[in-house]
């Protein structure tokens, strides 16, 4: 269960969101909507723990969250399977080659597994970045625009994985996206939570 209460977060010292509250139950996803700049990325970074919340609380099982940003964190000089193996090791996942093969299959990377990641196309790189999530076995995913540069087939592939593998096994996900993923999930429009720019009054952020 992911519970967010009265959350306020800031970007570059300016408060962008306030009083955000929602719950995501096991096996459920939440889609974040809102125009550019409303604070979707900021909210996801706050949820993932990359930046502190101004106020409010975020509650999910400790050591169970994973974050996927705009950037994929893919190393160009490593091959596809080396990239994945690295993240599995960092997350302490004991993996055997069938697991890796399964993940490669779900993200259509089998034919690419020995290619250097630097030679992949933007969409293939994105698929590799998302495949990391399949291997590290985390229950709560914070996904920032996961479908950027994916073609329609790959979007479907990713949505299928999310619905049938991740959510079906009791996972949760908070997803910021502008397109229709075709998964059965409630949507949350962030526009009503927009903070007034000077809501904080004098900020001492500059001195921190």
Interaction mask 137-176, other proteins, x per CB under 8 A: ----------------------------------------
- Our finding on whether 94 is near other proteins (CB under 8 A) is no
Collapse the DSSP code of 77 into the 3-class scheme (helix H, G, I; strand E, B; otherwise coil) and give the result.
coil
Query: At which residue do the structure tokens 């909210």 appear?
Result: 43
- Our finding on whether 92 is near other proteins (CB under 8 A) is yes
- Our finding on whether 77 is near other proteins (CB under 8 A) is yes
- Binding-site member from 15, 58, 67, 100 for other proteins (CB under 8 A): 67
- Binding-site member from 18, 31, 32, 87 for other proteins (CB under 8 A): 87
- Rounded CA-CA distance 138/67 in Å is 10
Q: Which residues contact 205 (CB under 8 A, 6 or more apart)?
A: 10, 13
- Our finding on whether 95 is near other proteins (CB under 8 A) is no
Q: Measured from the CB of residue 141, what is the shortest distance to other proteins in angstroms?
A: 11
Q: Measured from the CB of residue 184, what is the shortest distance to other proteins in angstroms?
A: 27
- Rounded CA-CA distance 77/41 in Å is 28
φ and ψ of 194, to 5 deg: -60, 135
- Our finding on whether 206 is near other proteins (CB under 8 A) is no
Query: Between 163 and 173, whose beta carbon lies closer to other proteins?
Result: 173
Helices (H), the chain: 40-48, 80-90, 97-106, 122-136, 152-160
φ and ψ of 15, to 5 deg: -65, 130
- Our finding on whether 74 is near other proteins (CB under 8 A) is yes
How far, in whole angstroms, is CA 106 from its chain's centroid?
18
- Rounded CA-CA distance 1/68 in Å is 19
- Our finding on whether 75 is near other proteins (CB under 8 A) is yes
- CA separation, residue 170 to residues 27, 163, 204 (Å): 4, 10, 41
Q: Measured from the CB of residue 119, what is the shortest distance to other proteins in angstroms?
A: 13
- Our finding on whether 90 is near other proteins (CB under 8 A) is yes
Query: Between 71 and 196, whose beta carbon lies closer to other proteins?
Result: 71
Contacting positions for other proteins (CB under 8 A) = 48-52, 63, 65-78, 82, 86-87, 89-92, 132, 208
């Amino acid at each position: 269960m992911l519970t967010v209460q009265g959350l306020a977060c800031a970007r570059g010292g300016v408060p962008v969101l306030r009083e955000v509250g929602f719950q995501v139950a096991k096996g459920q996803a939440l889609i974040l909507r809102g125009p550019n700049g409303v604070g979707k990325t900021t909210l996801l970074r706050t949820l993932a723990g990359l930046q502190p919340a101004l106020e409010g609380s975020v509650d999910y099982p400790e050591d169970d969250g994973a974050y996927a940003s705009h950037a994929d964190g893919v190393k160009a000089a490593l091959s596809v399977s080396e990239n994945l193996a690295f993240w599995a090791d960092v997350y302490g996942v004991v993996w055997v080659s069938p697991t890796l093969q399964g993940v490669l299959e779900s993200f259509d990377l089998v034919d690419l597994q020995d290619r250097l990641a630097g030679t992949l196309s933007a969409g293939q790189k994105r698929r590799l970045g998302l495949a990391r999530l399949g291997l590290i076995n985390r229950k709560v995913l914070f996904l920032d625009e996961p479908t950027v540069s994916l073609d329609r087939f790959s979007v479907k592939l990713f949505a299928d994985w999310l619905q049938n593998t991740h959510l079906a096994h009791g996972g949760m996900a908070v997803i910021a996206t502008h397109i229709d993923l075709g998964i059965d999930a409630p949507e949350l429009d962030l526009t009503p939570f927009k903070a007034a720019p000077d809501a904080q009054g004098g900020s001492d952020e500059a001195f921190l």
